Amino acid sequence: MDAELFDKVYDSIVKKESTYDGIYYTGVKTTRIVCRPSCRAKTPKKENITLYPSVEAAIRDGFRPCKRCKPETPGALGPDGLLAAQTDAVIDACYGERITLQQIAQKLAISPYHLQRTYKRVTGLTPMERLHQTRLSAAKRLLESGRLTMSEVAAAVGFRSASHFAVWFRRLTRVTPSAYREGHRGNRQALAGWTRNWRDMR
């Protein structure tokens, strides 16, 4: 598994969050028990866990289902929904890299054709369309914050140069990244002025 994705799943284990429940399962090497990531049991050390895409895979490796969180209990996701959720998890962890459909499929150990067909049937989007949506949302947040240079924003969402990022951003939004940032800066200034005026009137 990709190290960055592993770290994200482990962070959810530490926080007892259900973000990756039904998507990955935690095999604890010291107890030979497999749990949901959100299990309320004592958090295992990072080096003592193996993440599995299914309970069955963990059981084949000799792990026993946890009696507390009962990971073998069916969840709301079917096989195709589970694959879509796993794809989303990979995209959310790796959108800042230069990643292709082939590479996403490799991380999930399936063929690009099967991934493309199944993900589109479940979500109505292709994996790459979802990747572009995720990158665009992240780029907008970074531009609105105003803390990074344009090159830094570009790199953070998987582009090698600010110029390529600008062409891509304008194609999707019909405005340049600079214009988008300036527009939100003006909105923030207007809001700050309105807030000051409102306070003065009280």
Question: In this predicted structure, what is the pLDDT of residue 193?
Answer: 44
> pLDDT class for 190, splitting at 50, 70, 90?
very low
User: pLDDT tens for residues 130-186?
Assistant: 999 999 999 999 999 988 999 999 999 999 999 999 999 999 999 999 999 998 875
User: pLDDT tens for residues 7-22?
Assistant: 989 999 999 988 888 8
Residue of 35, 39, 66, 94 marked catalytic: 35
Question: In this predicted structure, what is the pLDDT of residue 109?
Answer: 82
Which residue is it, tokens 């998987």?
158
The structure's pTM equals 0.65
CA distance 167 to 137: 16
CA distances from 192 to 141, 187, 189 (A): 19, 9, 5
**First and final C-alpha spacing in the chain:** 57
- 94 part of the active site: no
Is residue 197 pLDDT above 60, yes or no? no
Widest distance between CA atoms in the chain: 70
Is residue 76 pLDDT above 90, yes or no? no
Say if residues 86 and 119 touch (Cβ distance below 8 Å): no
